[in-house]
Structure 1
Amino acid sequence: MPSLLIVEDEPVLAQNLVKAFAGQGFDVEVAGRIADARKLAATRLPDVALLDFRLPDGSGLDLLAALVREDPELPVIMMTGYGSVADAVRAMQQGARDYVQKPLDLNELRLKVEQALRSRRERREISYYRGRGAAPGDILGESTTTQRLRTLVARIAQMTPGAGAPAPTVLLLGETGSGKGHTARLLHASGGRRSGPFIEVNCTALPENLVEAELFGHEKGAFTDAKAAHAGLFETADGGTIFLDEIGHVTAPLQSKFLNVIEEKVVRRIGATAGRRVDVQVIAATSRDLEAAVRLGEFREDLFQRLSVAVIRIPPLREREGDAVVLARTFLADTCRRYGQPLRTLSAAAVETIARYPWPGNVREVANTMERVVLFSDENPLPAEDLALPSTVPPEGAIRVSPSGEVLIDFPDGGLSLEAVERALLVRALEKAGGNQSAAARLLGISRDTLRYRMEKYGLVE
């Protein structure tokens, strides 16, 4: 919910403004004096401020300067009954977004406030990697499984209203590379919140010491490096959607905070004494078996239940008969265009190989394979050997994870070294986490201290 600060010393006018904007869904606070406004702003800076030029205890321009110092992006609209060109120029020079003259035209003022709020949201969004480029295309594939998935996604999107109305929480379940991120972007782009921001958060990539500040924001001076107030990702997503990817691997304290935000729709910045209402749709995704994690006590059951309002399972590519070939042809054409190469086709042998291969890396593996062949092969039609796909028979001693999350081991006749397996798991987790030890520990379901101990045991500490 966007917040509005009204600083106006005429009680009747102030109450009329409160009534008008509260009815539009704003969280409104009002002050009749500069001193009162400073106290309110010190507790919580608003998203937009309406500020009278002349107040009983000083000039509105002085308060304007103080507000803009705290938040240079704060849109302030000045109101005056003694307007002059000089006043307007001074206000704009000191950081005001706009000004209006009394008696106020309420429709004009509403329009200015809405424009200011929209502009603020856009600036926040740009600064936080909005949108990942163009709007996502549809879910590719012709299998019955994919058709059912498209129907389900379209239904949830159709049921999602615009900003200001409650939106369903969605949980996307699927293996790595199956298209959970694409599905989340499609849900946002097709739903009622499409004009709002889409903020994507990789829960395993956030540094542990900064995760709370990034997600929930902080006030100026909240900690050593907090030189200015900072809106968190939940606030940035206000009016739109926040996508919490790999939520199944977050720590217990963060699970608790997510539960509170999803239930109450309120975030509290670090260093703040009051919460801020946020109007966001939450879409979460994970490749982990959350029910198993709940049974093991590694994931909160109440958070799992809260996330499971609308559950969409993204099937792995091996369950989508014929779709791998459709995807391969599409990715091959897209990659050729991206690199300025002539369009190419797949040979009959390549089509057969693609259809037979199980694609353990799912859609992402298809995309990467097509990019690789465009970069390293000039053949047209593309021969099967240029795909360079590994054998479909797992090597002796292979370890893999089933769709249900069960660990499967093809135990070799000669046996396995437990220490070698453990060391390999540590190395692979660290590689997948980009060297981030906290993220690697979460992937393995152990504490960071345990990870460090085992890294030292196997000589993996530099």
Structure 2
Amino acid sequence: MATLLIVDDERVLTRELSRSLAAEGHEVRTAGTGAEAIEANRLCPPDLVLLDLRLPDRSGIEVMRELRGLDPGLPVVLMTAHGSVRDAVKAMHEGATDYLQKPLDLDEVGLLVQRILTQRRRDRELDYLRDRERHQGVVGRDPRLLKVFAYAERLRDARLSPGKRPTILFIGETGTGKGVLARAVHEVLGGGPFIEFNCPAMPATLVEAELFGHERGSFTDARSSRPGLFEAAEGGTLFLDEIGELTLEIQAKLLKVIDEKRVRRLGSNSERTVDVHIMAATNRDLETAAAQGRFREDLLHRLRVLEIEVPPLRERLEDLRMLARFFSSELGNQYHSHPVRLSVEAEEYLVRYPWPGNVRELRNVIERAVLLEPSEELPARAFAGLMPASREGATSQFTLPEGGIDLQAVERGLLAQALERTGGNRTRAAALLGLTRYAFRYRLEKFQLD
């Protein structure tokens, strides 16, 4: 159930207390001195500490301060003899969770431990929900996205170090919020550094030095040694956006780092161990790229241990409304020092638009409207001309012929045209037809166009 640390130099008491708590399903570790307690905490951080007030090498209060310095939320229960109750009460003012008076009642100890652990679980759940609420203003409440937070919660509860967590690949169209979702997952998992690298934003010749670092003199402009982004993300997350743009050479080196958790700076003969969780994102069809030899298939398998599809905004109408309200309020405060709201007509106008640029396009359109419209409520006319007319009316251009049509033939023809227009790029072809990648793939198989 939980990992407990008992710190007391009375061996008989420690043995009996350990047996009693182990019988309730807890993993129990023991220490006889303050120094041993600090070392035990370093090797395996406990969920709760039962700490004697008087130890051979230092006072229990000093040990508690050091333990709480390492983990401010760690519950510490002090165990004290009758004459030291005043000291125990004083310790509670300094952050002790509770105290027990010797001789101990094992049943009382068990109940207190259970109560504190239950409260700690509730506090963690509350922190998680607050975390989720903070990010949902930008991420959304679509059930497919909320499942991602459930995955993250289970992964967090596994208490793995960043380097041992499974790689996560976010897929979806441009502007859907893959990076925002990645950061939200990162914070649920425990935070730490979050380093984002946009793979196509830098010349290919400099990508290797940026990711892995370099030593002085390793190339012409390397006047000093510099750590790479893997080292900068130590203890946290490295997020590789648009990973499909990396060259095959860098892909091979990235695969080695994922497998071995070690990096070698340019110009160095030694390797450095890194403890980093790797997330990546792409709007490309990496399966097609792998089949065409433009992306390593073995790297694709390593990246998609956990694959998360971020649906386009046109499939998330409730999110669209919520995000539009969120951006209006946020940008109103930014530019006018007060929140701006959307009229009912404006919301309906926004919902009818297909948003090919997704969340990014929505925010940009609302930002322009907030800047141009001085009122506290944005009318529908505030968005007139801000969105391409051809896109705006795209859903209503087709008229059914009097004699009807062969719907399957039309659908097959549209699929073939989309593939031809995008040079076989499935992700872009799916976007042209307003389909998710998986819905597009299903139709390709249905019409044997795969």
Both proteins in one fold, TM over 0.5: yes
**Residue 393 (structure 2) aligns with:** 393
Indicate whether 1:138 and 2:101 are aligned.
no
Residue equivalent to 1:349: 345
> Are residues 1:295 and 2:291 paired?
yes
Report the 3-state secondary structure (helix = DSSP H, G, I; strand = E; otherwise coil) of the residue aligned with 2:251: helix
**Separation of aligned partners in 2, 1:218 and 1:292:** 33
Q: How does 1:194-343 map to 2 (within 5 A)?
A: 194=191, 196-343=192-339
CA distance in 1, matches of 2:327, 2:231: 35
User: Post-superposition shift, 1:331?
Assistant: 0.2
The residue matched to 1:139 in structure 2 has which SS? helix
Cα distance, 1:270 vs structure 2: 0.8
Match of 2:95 in 1: none
Larger Rg computed on CA atoms: 2
Q: 1:171 aligns with which of 164, 169, 172?
A: 169
CA–CA distance in 2 between the matches of 1:402 and 1:139? Answer: 31
Give aligned-pair identity as a percent: 44
Q: For residue 226 of structure 1, report the CA deviation from its aligned partner.
A: 2.0
Q: Which amino acid aligns with 1:332?
A: S
Checking the alignment, whether the CA contact within 8 Å between 2:140 and 2:323 is kept in structure 1 is no
CA distance in 1, matches of 2:328, 2:376: 12
Find the aligned partners of 1:393 and 1:402 in 2 and give their Cα distance: 25
- Cα pair 1:157 1:188 within 8 Å, conserved: no
The two structures have a TM-score, normalised by structure 2, of 0.57
Separation in structure 1 between the aligned mates of residue 229 and residue 296 of structure 2, nearest angstrom: 22
* Contact 2:211 2:230 (8 Å CA) reproduced: yes
Kept after mapping to 1: 8 A contact 2:195/2:237: yes
Return the offset for 1:321. 2.5
Structure 1 residues 377 and 234: alpha-carbon distance in aligned structure 2, compared to 1, 3 A threshold = same
2:151 corresponds in structure 1 to 155
Distance, in Å, in 2 between the alignment partners of 1:349 and 1:259 is: 51
SS of equivalent residue, structure 1 residue 339: helix
The answer as to whether partners of 2:320 and 2:351 remain within 8 angstroms in 1 is yes
Q: Is the 8 A contact 1:154 1:187 kept in 2?
A: no
CA separation of 1:382 and 1:168: change in aligned 2, threshold 3 A:
same
Question: Could you list the per-position Cα deviations for residues 76-113 of structure 1 after superposition, in whole angstroms to 9, with x for gaps in the alignment?
Answer: xxxxxxxxxxxxxxxxxxxxxxxxxxxxxxx99xx9xx
Q: Please give the root-mean-square deviation of Cα atoms over the aligned residues, in Å.
A: 3.3
Q: Give the match for residue 190 of structure 1.
A: 188
**Amino acid paired to 1:168:** P
Structure 2 CA distance for partners of 1:258 and 1:216, relative to 1, 3 Å: same
Residue among 402, 405, 408 paired with 2:428: 405
Is residue 2:368 matched to residue 1:372?
yes
Q: Does structure 2 retain, via aligned residues, the 8 Å contact 1:178–1:316? A: yes
Deviations 1:105-163 (A, max 9, x none): xx99xx9xx99xxxxxxxxxxxxxxxxxxx8932348987x123112233224404353
Q: Displacement of 1:351 after TM fit?
A: 1.3
Which runs of 5 or more residues in structure 1 are unaligned?
1-19, 26-106, 116-134, 411-462
Deviations along 1:323-356, one digit per CA (max 9) or x if unpaired, are 2111111100000111234322222221111111
SS in 2 for 1:220: coil
- The alpha-carbon distance between structure 1 residues 294 and 402, as it changes in their structure 2 partners (threshold 3 A), is closer
1:157 to 1:220, Cα distance in 2 relative to 1, 3 A: farther
Question: 1:143, 1:321 within 8 Å by CA — same for their partners in 2?
Answer: no
What's the secondary structure of 1:285's corresponding residue? strand
Q: Which runs of 5+ in 2 are unaligned?
A: 1-38, 45-61, 71-130, 398-416, 434-450
Letter in 1 for 2:135: D
> What residue in structure 2 maps to residue 180 of structure 1?
178
Q: Assess, with a 3 A threshold, how the Cα gap between structure 1 residues 348 and 316 changes in structure 2: closer, same or farther.
A: same
Question: 1:36-68 CA deviation, whole Å, 9 max, x = no partner?
Answer: xxxxxxxxxxxxxxxxxxxxxxxxxxxxxxxxx
CA distance in 1, matches of 2:431, 2:239: 31
Distance 1:219 1:402, change over 3 A: closer
Q: Is the 8 A contact 1:265 1:277 kept in 2?
A: yes
How far residue 274 of structure 1 moved from its aligned partner, in angstroms, is 1.4
What SS does the corresponding residue of 1:209 show, helix, strand or coil?
Answer: helix
Bigger helix share: 2
Distance 1:287 1:269 in 2: 29
CA distance in 2, matches of 1:162, 1:316: 31
For the residues of structure 1 that align with 2:394 and 2:358, how far apart are their CA atoms? 16
If the length of structure 1 is used for normalisation, what is the TM-score?
0.56
